[in-house]
Amino acid sequence: MFRFMEAESKGTGLTPRVREVVILSVASVWQVAYEIYAHSAVARQNGFSQEAIDALAVGKPSDELDDQEALAQKLTLELVGQRKISDATYRAAAETFGRRGVVDMTFLIGEYLYTSAALNAFEIPVPAEPDGSSHASKREQQ
């Protein structure tokens, strides 16, 4: 899986911002605290405001997203939430990103579905707060 993840990140035609939209959109459906925490930081590095990140983290649209980013969010939420992509969304994505871009997005979604499952299965917590309070998972405590 790690080889697949490395190949995906090196070979993708998606912009860093579109990648973060996709990743945070998958995390919004699965409500993966660690993934949202980690990719919020990456999204900030890629120019997203906290308001846009907060919207993405709960699967809401943001006025800050450009047309490509909004379409990436729509495609991701459809595929993850409904387990399919509508014909209209697929056509728009193929016109906007090309067939290769739709493939890249689909692989990225799959990568983060796997990551979400693993993080949720083991209840991986976000790092400790600056005051030292712990976020140890229930699985770690058992």
pLDDT per residue as tens digits for the range 31-90: 999 999 999 999 999 999 999 999 999 999 999 999 999 999 999 999 999 999 999 999
* 25 vs 21: CA distance, rounded Å: 6
Residue 139's pLDDT band, with cuts at 50, 70 and 90, is very low
pLDDT of residue 131: 65
Tens-digit pLDDT profile for residues 110-128? 999 999 999 999 999 999 8
R_g (Cα) of the chain, nearest Å: 15
Question: Hey, what amino acid is at 5?
Answer: M
pLDDT of residue 141: 46
Residue 6's pLDDT band, with cuts at 50, 70 and 90, is confident
Read off the pLDDT of each residue in 11-15 and give the average, rounded to a whole number.
Answer: 92
The 3-state DSSP class for residue 120 equals helix
14 Cβ contact list (under 8 Å, min separation 6): 22, 72, 97, 101, 104, 105, 108
Is the pLDDT at 136 greater than 50, yes or no? no
pLDDT of residue 1: 75
Residue 18's pLDDT band, with cuts at 50, 70 and 90, is very high
Q: Do 71 and 96 form a contact (C-beta atoms < 8 A)? A: yes
Tell me the backbone φ, ψ of residue 19, rounded to 5 degrees: -60, -45
